Structure 1
Amino acid sequence: MASSYVFLVPPDGQREDTRTIRDGFSWLAFLFPWIWLLAHRLWLHAIIAFALQAIGGVLTEEPGFGPAGMALAFGVNLFVGFEGQNFRIRSLASRGWREEAAIGASSIDLAEEIYFSNIETGADFKVPEWNQTSSPQTRPGHSTSLGLFGFDGGRK
């Protein structure tokens, strides 16, 4: 199953310090929400998660409010599990980091290989010029494809 990885470049533009964050559900964030948030230096988010879980704990002790307290605590866990990585990305973006790319890959190693292979190395490569001839088979709108859209982007 492929995941999406977001690549963030620091404000100074140094590619060596690029951060890769998997955009998706985090089990550690789900199981330990405010601890996970503290570990990633998301102080305000951690305080809010802790406060909501504390309120949920107090509600479970009150007669008749037990299910509401458990639902609140579980909701916090679920929310941080799904949105925790997005909190990290937004926090870095607010400090000047730039989202450079989002790559779908089966592993972080493959995503980094794809990302870093697309960065210019400074080498001067000459691209060959292809001879384009206009024949009835190559005119825009007359190309063959298996989907609904042709190679030129038009609808069949």
Structure 2
Amino acid sequence: MSVYTVHAPPVDGTDVRGTTDKFVFVRDGFSFWAFVFGPVWLLYQRLWLAFTGYVVLSIALEVVLTLLRASGGTRFAVMAVIAVLMGLEAASLRRWTLSRRKWRQLDVVVADDEEAAERRFFDRWTSMRGVNFDPSTVDRGAPPPTRNGPGQPFPPSMPRSDIVGLFPQPRFPR
């Protein structure tokens, strides 16, 4: 089963529920097409900044390999590693571009394929219609809570002089 993240376009004062036809489901995992056709896949997905970075990285690597007088096998191995990294990080690049364009991540869905992911997401989405819940207001990028904030549910910190573990406390008999 695959994991999909659901992204909604930026809203201009309208309800998110009115833009459901524009939701994007991004499958997490290895992308074969990004592995085989890296730059073409980036252009097809309209990931312009990532494409620019790919081209700059490829040119820089070619210049460095030329200066080092690397063999053809070494050049092939380096470009194969870049292709594997592209296949592994394709979904992350797509999510990063969506977040740069102010798209909001609404949910994470586990399903066999994209159609089943859509069905599961919209089943959950419609069941929440009666509830006054707007997922676009959920901030999924907030930092984790800290210990120093007021009203934090964390236990108090241990004093620095205590010993942690199975060791005896100082100056106590065994």
Would you say same fold, with TM above 0.5? yes
Aligned to 2:33: 28
Of 17, 21, 46, which aligns to 2:22? 17
Q: Does 1:97 align with 2:96?
A: no
Matches within 5 A, 1:59-74: 59=65, 63-74=69-80
- Specify the code of the residue in structure 2 equivalent to 1:30: F
- Specify the code of the residue in structure 2 equivalent to 1:111: A
Q: Does 1:118 align with 2:117?
A: no
Instruction: Give 4+ residue runs of structure 1 displaced > 4 Å after superposition.
Output: 54-58, 121-124
Aligned to 2:7: 8
- Specify the code of the residue in structure 1 equivalent to 2:33: L
Shift of 1:53: 3.5
Over the residues paired in the alignment, what is the CA RMSD in angstroms? 2.5
What percentage of residue pairs aligned between the two structures are identical? 30
- Specify the code of the residue in structure 1 equivalent to 2:78: L
Q: Deviations over 1:69-116 (max 9, x none)?
A: 222211111111010111111111111111111111111111111100
Aligned to 1:128: none
User: 2-side partners of 1:30 and 1:84: how far apart?
Assistant: 8
Does structure 2 conserve the Cα–Cα contact (< 8 Å) formed by 1:52 and 1:73? no
Question: TM-score w.r.t. structure 2 length?
Answer: 0.61
Aligned to 1:108: 114
Shift of 1:120: 3.4
Shift of 1:67: 3.4
Question: TM-score w.r.t. structure 1 length?
Answer: 0.68
Higher relative contact order (CA closer than 8 Å, sequence separation 6+): 2
User: 2-side partners of 1:16 and 1:24: how far apart?
Assistant: 24
Shift of 1:24: 1.2
User: 2-side partners of 1:94 and 1:51: how far apart?
Assistant: 20
Q: Does 1:83 align with 2:89?
A: yes
- Specify the code of the residue in structure 2 equivalent to 1:105: A
Does structure 2 conserve the Cα–Cα contact (< 8 Å) formed by 1:3 and 1:104? yes
Q: Deviations over 1:21-76 (max 9, x none)?
A: 1111111100011111111111222123234344556648x754333322221111
User: 2-side partners of 1:38 and 1:88: how far apart?
Assistant: 12
User: 1-side partners of 2:56 and 2:48: how far apart?
Assistant: 12
SS of residue in 2 equivalent to 1:52:
helix
